[in-house]
Structure 1
Amino acid sequence: MSFWGLILKNLWRHKIRNGLTLLGVSIGVATILALGLLMNGFEQSLGETLRAGKTDFSVMSADAPAILFSAIEESKLEEIEHLAGVDHAAGSLLAITSFLNNPYFFSIGVEANDLDFLGVKIVEGRAFGPQAPDEILLGKTSAGNGNVHVGDKVTMGTKEFQVVGIYETGNAWEDGGAFANLATIQQWQHKEGQVSLVAVKVKDGFVADAVASTLKAHFAGQFVTMHSIAESENFLHSVGIMQAISWAVSILAIGIGGIGVMNTMTMAVFERTREIGILRAVGWRRRRIISMVMGESITIALIAAVLGFIVGILAVKGLLLVPVVKGYLTPVYSIMLFVRAFGIALAVGLLGGLYPAYRATRITPTTALRHE
């Protein structure tokens, strides 16, 4: 029998115990992979939210912890437009409400004549009228998820709207939401005279960064500017937190998985004391004993990695079918993410096998006879 054949045979002898250990490690790998895929998708999706349209940069409150909490007086729009280098400024109010079976629906209030400026492309129907408080545009994704068509009446939150058009921006969050008249969203959210964001277009011949600096200086630090959400301090802070959580889960998976593998392999070594003693008696060196035990430990971890990859990908695909998530997020696959998950599985196998391998090398033929 070959050396690897012996390793596989040893693992098969206690298939239930080894299978449970393998399951535990694979769940850890699947969790790491799924978190990474979703976090990458979340970062990419939000990072593109302000890149569509004809805007050069956007403005939000400096003291707001997130864009949803940003509050800018609508009267500031005219003041911004009068700054040197500013061609146009468009305000929008962001709100989270319920729609159909989605309790976290993304709605945006804008002026009707700013839709094209903000990159909203009508693919079916027409835009809402400037004085039509009950008309709404649904994103292509949200309309598809809810099987809603132009002309239908829908309830968003507690208010009824008529769908007059379907739009597409190319951004998952916006296409999974809705646009309505700014005044309607302001009244509905009890935020009359306020906007969350101001999108700014710079005149030809001016540099966007210079105009943004002028704007911040003019308003004495009341606002922050960004070319995309990915450049905002709040976004970077949120991404940093998510990355820290992801690494914490990875470390936890190494610890729990390593202990599980170590426990399994220690029990295996204890039960095979006589067998290992005989192998030592027939000439097996300590290095070969270490290779056998470590080989079994690493084999468990590597099989768990493959299973973890499959489970993680299937879990993400299943999550994307949930109405709250469907259409809003696209997982981003990267080689480094798989390498990281594989490396963690390998680390679990190595760390989990060290002590059992050391214990196995201390077994001598006389020890085996006494054990028997």
Structure 2
Amino acid sequence: MFGIYLKRELGRRKKAALVIALGLALGIALVITVNSVSAGMTQAQDKVLQSLYGLGTDMTVTKARTAPTSNSSGQPRFEFDAKSNDDDTEQSSDRVMTQGGQALKSSLVTKVADQKGVAAAVGALTLNVTKVDGSFTQGKAQSSTSGSGSGQGGPGGGQGSGSTAAPQVQGGGASFDVNSYSVAGVDVTNQDLGPLAGSKITSGTAFTSAQTNAKVAVVSKSYAKENKYKVGKTLKISGTKYKIIGIATPDSSDSTTDVYLPLKQAQTLADAKNQVTTIYVKATDSQQIDTVKATIQKNISGTTVTTSADLAETVSGSLSTASNLATSVGKWLSIAVLAAAFLVAALLTSSAVSRRVREFGTLKALGWPSRRVTRQVVGESIVNGLLGGALGIALGLGAAYAVTAISPKLTAELGSTGGGGGMGGGPGGGGPGQQSASNTMEIALSAPVSATTIALAVGLAVAGGLIAGAMGGWRASRMRPADALRSVS
């Protein structure tokens, strides 16, 4: 009886049911769209952080670089011979400097790994290599003769036809190219954590655990393409040749490191024996990262511990702006629209009940109790809510698919904060002490829809139907059989 009556009443009031369903559908579709876009923003930010930190890294340990002393400016210095017999001779020089924070002792890696809550810790050394090559060109001394006359000439007192000016050097100079690239020293015994963890080897092979001090290198795909490097060729840094054994392609975005070397080789290049610039840390429990951070800071003084959450705060650009809009304006807008949809559905249902005075009064006169009338109204409202939910899910999925298909490009700029204690301790990431360093990446936005979002939409549809039904049912339960008689004309 309930189902038959429900079907008949919904069929009679198709227009009203459609209006209620559409109102709920718009609110639910907006909720799905905002949630899916927010999830896409989170994924995009994770890609940015993974490209700098490496997959699996929960935090990094660094040390702020101290200000240079009066005797040392900390700037690269190049010296060349410029002898007279070196005309047009090519000269080249590499300047290798540690990049990021102040160097840490390698023994700190073990100390960090022994802290409570730390699953693994790996040290890395980040370097910047500035290569200057070119040649000097010697100038030529030339003299010129000017004027004419019959006066006395030179010292011999002979007759001269002019005077000779002092010789002048013409031509000459120097022409040098400057090329700068980043190098990361990798602990080859644990490559699942550290600067190389965010890339995969797409050509050649990765480092082996036996190559702790081998003269081999892995180069990024972009750097290899730019310099026409291939597996098997050699790369020369500061007079040392390294055999390229692999090409690394980042999983998510442009690589921030150009060349990867075994950690000991990088330490030799930089004259930084048993030193690292960054310690990559993986926590045993991702929910206890703040606790692990506090433990490391307490037990290892003078270091800066940076978590992924800290690093995310330094992300700027259109990605950050869009993310803030999605999390603040977008969510509040969706809540407002959804609340308005619920209110409209409740008011329309209540209005529809008011127009059914004769019907409900007659049913009560025939013996229907108030709870049965209320159940009937609530049942109709829930069906309207489910219809609106189905339509809203379809609209929301369509909007999310459109965003993914268009894939708008967002830029993410990750730079260090000032004061020498900045975030972004990853290789090339503008680590502590680099106040002007930054990385700009371009991320394609997607809008993934999870099962949780669909479940939320269904829950909202049912909630909307219950709210509308509760209001309409309360109105219907208060009607008396006498009301039906008074409404008869």
> Which bracket does the TM-score occupy, shorter chain normalised?
0.5 to 0.7
Shift of 1:47: 3.5
Shift of 1:178: 6.6
User: Which residue of 393, 406, 409 corresponds with 1:309?
Assistant: 393
Name the amino acid aligned to 1:47.
D
* Structure with the higher fraction of residues in strand conformation: 2
Q: Deviations over 1:51-97 (max 9, x none)?
A: 536977447999xxxxxxxxxx99763623557536423389xxxxx
- Gap change, CA 1:216 and 1:40, over 3 Å in 2: farther
Corresponding residue SS for 1:351? helix
Shift of 1:22: 0.7
User: Which residue of 106, 115, 126 corresponds with 1:90?
Assistant: 126
- Gaps (5+ residues) in structure 1? 63-72, 93-108, 137-165, 183-197
Tell me what 1:52 maps to: 54
Name the amino acid aligned to 2:182.
E
Q: Is the 8 A contact 1:88 1:200 kept in 2?
A: yes
- Mapping 1:4-43, distance limit 5 Å: 4-43=3-42
Residue 345 of structure 1 pairs with residue 461 of structure 2 = yes
Q: Is the 8 A contact 1:81 1:89 kept in 2?
A: no
Name the amino acid aligned to 1:52.
G
Shift of 1:244: 6.8
In our comparison, the structure showing a higher alpha carbon Rg is: 2
Aligned residues: 286
- Gap change, CA 1:274 and 1:289, over 3 Å in 2: same
- Gaps (5+ residues) in structure 2? 65-74, 76-96, 110-122, 129-179, 204-218, 229-246, 260-275, 282-291, 315-319, 410-442
Q: Is the 8 A contact 2:37 2:400 kept in 1?
A: yes
Q: Deviations over 1:249-274 (max 9, x none)?
A: 56434421221111221221122211
Structure 1 Cα separation of the partners of residues 6 and 62 of structure 2? 61
Corresponding residue SS for 1:315? helix
Q: Is the 8 A contact 1:280 1:364 kept in 2?
A: yes
- Mapping 1:205-220, distance limit 5 Å: 213=297, 217-218=301-302
Name the amino acid aligned to 2:102.
E
- Gap change, CA 1:39 and 1:91, over 3 Å in 2: farther
User: Which residue of 182, 193, 196 corresponds with 1:111?
Assistant: 182
- Gap change, CA 1:256 and 1:34, over 3 Å in 2: same
Tell me what 1:277 maps to: 361
TM-score (norm 1): 0.60
- Mapping 1:71-220, distance limit 5 Å: 77=100, 79-81=102-104, 84-85=107-108, 87-90=123-126, 111=182, 117-118=195-196, 119-121=198-200, 123=202, 127-129=221-223, 168-171=249-252, 174=253, 177=254, 200-201=278-279, 213=297, 217-218=301-302
Corresponding residue SS for 1:79? coil
Structure 2 Cα separation of the partners of residues 110 and 54 of structure 1? 25
Shift of 1:128: 4.6
Name the amino acid aligned to 1:23.
L
Tell me what 2:471 maps to: 355
Q: Is the 8 A contact 1:274 1:369 kept in 2?
A: yes
Indicate the RMSD between aligned Cα atoms, in angstroms: 4.7
Structure 1 Cα separation of the partners of residues 363 and 294 of structure 2? 76
Corresponding residue SS for 1:218? coil
Q: Is the 8 A contact 1:41 1:332 kept in 2?
A: no
Corresponding residue SS for 1:259? helix
Structure 2 Cα separation of the partners of residues 289 and 26 of structure 1? 26
- Gap change, CA 1:253 and 1:167, over 3 Å in 2: farther
Residue 334 of structure 1 pairs with residue 451 of structure 2 = yes
- Gap change, CA 1:58 and 1:110, over 3 Å in 2: farther
Q: Deviations over 1:195-217 (max 9, x none)?
A: xxx983469xxxx9699638984
Name the amino acid aligned to 1:322.
I
- Gap change, CA 1:112 and 1:322, over 3 Å in 2: farther
Structure 2 Cα separation of the partners of residues 24 and 61 of structure 1? 56
Q: Is the 8 A contact 2:124 2:279 kept in 1?
A: yes
- Gap change, CA 1:110 and 1:213, over 3 Å in 2: farther
Moved more, 281-290 or 306-315: 306-315
Shift of 1:343: 1.9
Identity of aligned residues (%): 23
Residue 286 of structure 1 pairs with residue 370 of structure 2 = yes
Q: Is the 8 A contact 1:254 1:347 kept in 2?
A: no
- Mapping 1:58-73, distance limit 5 Å: 58=60
- Gap change, CA 1:296 and 1:110, over 3 Å in 2: farther
Corresponding residue SS for 2:23? helix
Residue 295 of structure 1 pairs with residue 379 of structure 2 = yes
TM-score (norm 2): 0.47
- Gap change, CA 1:199 and 1:320, over 3 Å in 2: farther
- Gap change, CA 1:324 and 1:216, over 3 Å in 2: farther
Q: Is the 8 A contact 1:34 1:316 kept in 2?
A: yes
Structure 2 Cα separation of the partners of residues 112 and 288 of structure 1? 76
Corresponding residue SS for 2:102? helix
Name the amino acid aligned to 1:317.
Y
